[in-house]
Structure 1
Amino acid sequence: MDTSWFSIIPFLVVIPVAIYTKQVLPALFLGLLVGAYLMDPTILGGIQTMFVYVVQALIDTNNIKIVVFLYAFSGLVGMVKMTGGIRGFVEKAAERIQTRKQALVLTYVSTLGTFIAPTFRFVTIAPIMRALLKKVKMTTAELGFVIETTATPVIVLIPVATAFVGYMVSIIQIATQNQGVNVDPYSLFIQSIPFNFFSIVTILLGIYLSFFHHSRKKSTAPTQIDEDVEDEEDWHECHPAVDKELPIKPFNLLLPLVLVIGFTLFLTWYDGFTQGYGFFESFIQADVLDAMVVALLITVLLSMAFYLLQRFKLDELISGFINGGNDLMSVILLLSVVWGLSSITDDLGFSAFVTAHAGWIPQMFIAPLIFIFGAAVSYFIGSAWGTWGILMPLGISLAVVGDVSLPLVVGAVFASGAFGAFASPLSDDTNTIAKILGLSVIEYAKYKLKPALIAAGITTVMYVVVTFIF
């Protein structure tokens, strides 16, 4: 009797529970628990099995590196906030911006230095725009939309020095390992970037609306800029990172960014160089995860020394680092559950089940269906990371069974999560930008939904067309 169908039961639990509760972590945990009891259906056996799988995931060498990277990265951001790096950047930029075009150009150019994470983008750019609302001549919702098109859609396409890249490579790694696919996960991630069509289309849409679109009728977007605009000083209260009590030190932001990017690129090249590869091939063949972790740790130490020279107290710097790192503990917990769930479903025979029952799906529909299904899930749960963790094993399995390009399907999975992060009223992106700009979350989400659906429609067509080519 084929019992591999048991392997889909955890997913049949996770997806509806996540959509109903609008909470990803409890849904994944419940799916993990159900999978554990399917493995060992005794009173204590299920709990013990779940514990074993999570521990095995956490002691994996690459997984530990990712946990260290995420915690240290968030800790570095915590020190940058505490030492006034973000407030300093916002203050200096706001002083120099005088026109709408300058403000919008700054929004795009600043991506080069603030692509660490979406929230990081929001707390460096949105307060500047809030301080310049009267000059920008856009509705607040239109402004928020433009800012968001330079956040998650851009960050998911950047292969180094972001809070996303370690997680994205990790879920590719475990999904390919479970499927028995011998491929370097980082290389596969790089190859998938051009196929994250939703992010690319959304960026282009943002550029069009910023610089080329001129509406002939008054916008119906919520909160008009010319209506009851708050005093410019009010923007200091929109986020703790730009609080008036913090010092104004823009170099406390710029130096860590230069260091982490520079060291990451250098150590990536150096690792490949020591293996005997040429300049360009070194970046492809290197152990990028190792390079990113080491570069980040060096940056943390040098940044802390730089802050100490400015007479910041060591205990305050350590507290800022720990508080920043702790902000990402929920993500680290999410990762450990995703790792455990993927391993359990693989041992239950998930790959065998997909191989036996998914052959009827036409090849040309696999990538677009993965995107549409993932976009629906991510919209209702509001989490790109949760969507990726749930869908990547399914996407890799379907790609192998249907003989579809792996980079194409991986790109479709990442695109589906990006849709939810951008469009969902439950996403951190939507809620953070709405709070900083003083918008109603629901009204702002409704405003974004139409262009997001247009971008999703274009994306779906592109997946169908590209499938024929590949």
Structure 2
Amino acid sequence: METSWLSIIPFLLVIPIAIITRQVLPGLLVGLLVGAYLINPTILGGVQTMLDYIVQALIDVNNIKIIVFLYAFSGLVGIIKMSGGIKGFVEAASERITTKKQALVLTYLSTIGTFSAPTFRFVTIAPIMKALLKKVKMSTKELGFVIETTATPVIVLIPVATAFVGYMVSVIQISIENVGSDLDPYDLFLQSIPFNFFAITIIFLGIYLSFFHKSHSGGPMEIDEEEVEEEEEDWHDCHPAVSKELPDKPLNLLVPIILVIGLTLFLTWWDGHQQGHSLFDAFINADVLQAMVVALIITVLVSIVMFLFQGVKLADLINSFIAGGNELMAVIVLLSVVWGLSSVTDDLGFSGFVTAHTAWIPAMFITPLLFVFGAAVSYFIGSAWGTWGILMPLGVSLAYAGDISLHVTIGAIFASGSFGAFASPLSDDTNTIAKILGLTVVDYAKFKLKPALIAAGITTVLYTGVSFLI
């Protein structure tokens, strides 16, 4: 069944179901279940086979590490919120900013310490900016746009200490395993970063529109003065992480962030150093996932001890950690199904089918078409992670079949998901920032769609140009 047409049936179901339901998980589950029945076409055999695939995915050592990392990271954010770390940082920063330029500079500079996850960044920087809204004379839509260009587009380009790294490396790993490759998935991720053209383009576009663009009526950075004047809501009410009831302890944010980043870098170097590599080669050859997980666990333990010395109750820390970790359970379930679906389609012969039936597609068009198709999918389902999980096996198989650059293809798929996370009215990023800033989701999504499409157009041209050169 190496080149069986049956292998494409799960993918033919996943994408339309995800778009129709506007949910990623139902499409993935249907694709996995149908694929399992194609392998074991008996009344109970399909369900049992689906369960076997999920269980096999979950007992893989690296997959377990990814799950631990995701849960523990979200749990760490939970105890930082509860201990007043975010609230304290917001209070301290908002007292020192008096001009629009200062506020914008802070927004960009704060990325250094809050790049770990989009939601973490939103609840850290958005309340600061909301508190200064009248003072800096910005519309809330403009403010949301600026913050978002420094969230997911930046985070997908950072190779350590983010909630995205484990997932992104994982979808690369399962995809290259499907085509029989033994390339290092983390190394491929590193090589793909410069080719995530949408993320890079929207960052520069955000900087231009923030600092250099003169607003005109109807322009993407138009400021609604009336909106600024009517802004009265207390920023303490915009998110539980900055509630008035919480203490003001900025070090409870800064210390864990510095610790997890520093330990990740040190342990990554140390692992490579123990293998006998020089400084630069140590980072390339190290087990980065292991280093990130260990660094995170140490940071969680040190943070708990630090908060206990401040008088925080152990029961509150445990409850906050679990509540924080549970916020990513939906992502963990999604990832488990993605792993299972990838294994099912691999056993059905998906890679062989793609190789045998896509030779007619000109190689220079594969990468830009993948980006455009993926951007459309991610816009309609509103999920970068879902898009990556669905399209990465297809993209890697096409890259091998067309003998095109693998890291450029991977970068294009990550770019397509980044577009949806930024532009879609269904994305968590759009809805979270709109909720914090008190915006109507649809109006805000329309406001930022124009610059997003400009960046997507530039990105498509860049992929077309690179495809001719490589």
Q: What TM-score do you get using the length of structure 2 for normalisation?
A: 0.98
Aligned counterparts of 1:106 and 1:307: Cα–Cα separation in 2: 27
1:163 aligns with 2:163: yes
Aligned counterparts of 1:285 and 1:228: Cα–Cα separation in 2: 51
1:454 equivalent in structure 2: 454
Provide the aligned C-alpha RMSD in A. Answer: 1.4
Aligned counterparts of 1:2 and 1:328: Cα–Cα separation in 2: 36
**C-alpha contact 1:88 1:248 (8 A) present in aligned 2:** yes
2:93 equivalent in structure 1: 93
1:82 equivalent in structure 2: 82
> Structure 1, residues 205-226: CA drift from partner, whole Å, max 9, x if none?
0000111111244758798254
In the alignment, structure 1 segments of 5+ residues that lack a partner are: none
**C-alpha contact 1:367 1:409 (8 A) present in aligned 2:** yes
**C-alpha contact 2:198 2:419 (8 A) present in aligned 1:** yes
**C-alpha contact 1:140 1:225 (8 A) present in aligned 2:** no
2:425 equivalent in structure 1: 425
Aligned counterparts of 1:65 and 1:307: Cα–Cα separation in 2: 26
Aligned counterparts of 2:19 and 2:316: Cα–Cα separation in 1: 40
Structure 1 residues 225 and 120, CA gap change in structure 2 (3 angstroms): farther
1:147 aligns with 2:147: yes
1:400 aligns with 2:415: no
Aligned counterparts of 2:230 and 2:252: Cα–Cα separation in 1: 29
1:127 equivalent in structure 2: 127
Q: What TM-score do you get using the length of structure 1 for normalisation?
A: 0.98
1:301-316 pair list within 5 angstroms: 301-316=301-316
**C-alpha contact 1:139 1:219 (8 A) present in aligned 2:** no
Amino acid of the residue matched to residue 104 of structure 1?
L
2:196 equivalent in structure 1: 196
Aligned counterparts of 2:179 and 2:280: Cα–Cα separation in 1: 30
1:55 equivalent in structure 2: 55
1:372 aligns with 2:372: yes
1:295 equivalent in structure 2: 295
1:6 aligns with 2:6: yes
**C-alpha contact 1:116 1:163 (8 A) present in aligned 2:** yes
Amino acid of the residue matched to residue 24 of structure 1?
V
Local SS of the residue matching 1:338: helix
**C-alpha contact 1:157 1:193 (8 A) present in aligned 2:** yes
**C-alpha contact 1:223 1:439 (8 A) present in aligned 2:** no
1:341-420 pair list within 5 angstroms: 341-420=341-420
Deviation at 1:135, TM superposition (A): 2.1
**C-alpha contact 1:18 1:24 (8 A) present in aligned 2:** yes
Report the count of equivalent residues: 470
Aligned counterparts of 1:13 and 1:210: Cα–Cα separation in 2: 41
Amino acid of the residue matched to residue 170 of structure 2?
S
Aligned counterparts of 1:225 and 1:339: Cα–Cα separation in 2: 49
Structure 1 residues 216 and 41, CA gap change in structure 2 (3 angstroms): closer
Deviation at 1:112, TM superposition (A): 0.1
Aligned counterparts of 1:468 and 1:219: Cα–Cα separation in 2: 34
2:463 equivalent in structure 1: 463
Structure 1 residues 439 and 397, CA gap change in structure 2 (3 angstroms): same
**C-alpha contact 1:10 1:35 (8 A) present in aligned 2:** yes
Stretch moving more, 430-439 or 196-205: 430-439
Aligned counterparts of 2:230 and 2:92: Cα–Cα separation in 1: 20
> Structure 1, residues 286-320: CA drift from partner, whole Å, max 9, x if none?
00000000000000000000000101000100111
Stretch moving more, 336-345 or 127-136: 127-136
Structure 1 residues 228 and 369, CA gap change in structure 2 (3 angstroms): closer
**C-alpha contact 2:209 2:221 (8 A) present in aligned 1:** no
Amino acid of the residue matched to residue 385 of structure 2?
W
Local SS of the residue matching 1:389: helix
Local SS of the residue matching 2:282: helix
Local SS of the residue matching 2:160: coil
Deviation at 1:136, TM superposition (A): 2.1
**C-alpha contact 1:100 1:135 (8 A) present in aligned 2:** yes
Deviation at 1:337, TM superposition (A): 0.1
Deviation at 1:463, TM superposition (A): 0.4
> Structure 1, residues 325-360: CA drift from partner, whole Å, max 9, x if none?
000000000000000000000000001110110111
Deviation at 1:374, TM superposition (A): 0.2
Aligned counterparts of 2:66 and 2:370: Cα–Cα separation in 1: 26
Amino acid of the residue matched to residue 28 of structure 1?
L
Aligned counterparts of 2:308 and 2:364: Cα–Cα separation in 1: 58
Aligned counterparts of 1:10 and 1:454: Cα–Cα separation in 2: 33
Amino acid of the residue matched to residue 390 of structure 1?
I
Aligned counterparts of 1:232 and 1:399: Cα–Cα separation in 2: 53
Identity within the alignment, %: 74
Aligned counterparts of 1:258 and 1:228: Cα–Cα separation in 2: 35
2:275 equivalent in structure 1: 275
> Structure 1, residues 130-183: CA drift from partner, whole Å, max 9, x if none?
111112222211111111000000000000000000000000000001111120
Stretch moving more, 244-253 or 230-239: 230-239
Stretch moving more, 460-469 or 224-233: 224-233
Aligned counterparts of 1:453 and 1:24: Cα–Cα separation in 2: 23
Aligned counterparts of 1:140 and 1:462: Cα–Cα separation in 2: 32
Aligned counterparts of 2:172 and 2:184: Cα–Cα separation in 1: 9
Aligned counterparts of 1:291 and 1:220: Cα–Cα separation in 2: 42
Aligned counterparts of 1:144 and 1:313: Cα–Cα separation in 2: 35
Local SS of the residue matching 2:114: coil
In the alignment, structure 2 segments of 5+ residues that lack a partner are: none
Aligned counterparts of 2:239 and 2:78: Cα–Cα separation in 1: 13
Local SS of the residue matching 2:98: coil
**C-alpha contact 2:36 2:46 (8 A) present in aligned 1:** yes
Local SS of the residue matching 1:113: helix
Aligned counterparts of 1:415 and 1:249: Cα–Cα separation in 2: 37
Amino acid of the residue matched to residue 358 of structure 1?
T
**C-alpha contact 1:222 1:443 (8 A) present in aligned 2:** no
> Structure 1, residues 115-143: CA drift from partner, whole Å, max 9, x if none?
01011111111111111111222221111
Aligned counterparts of 2:126 and 2:422: Cα–Cα separation in 1: 16
Amino acid of the residue matched to residue 35 of structure 1?
G
Task: Give the 4+ runs in structure 1 shifted more than 3 A.
Answer: 216-223, 225-233
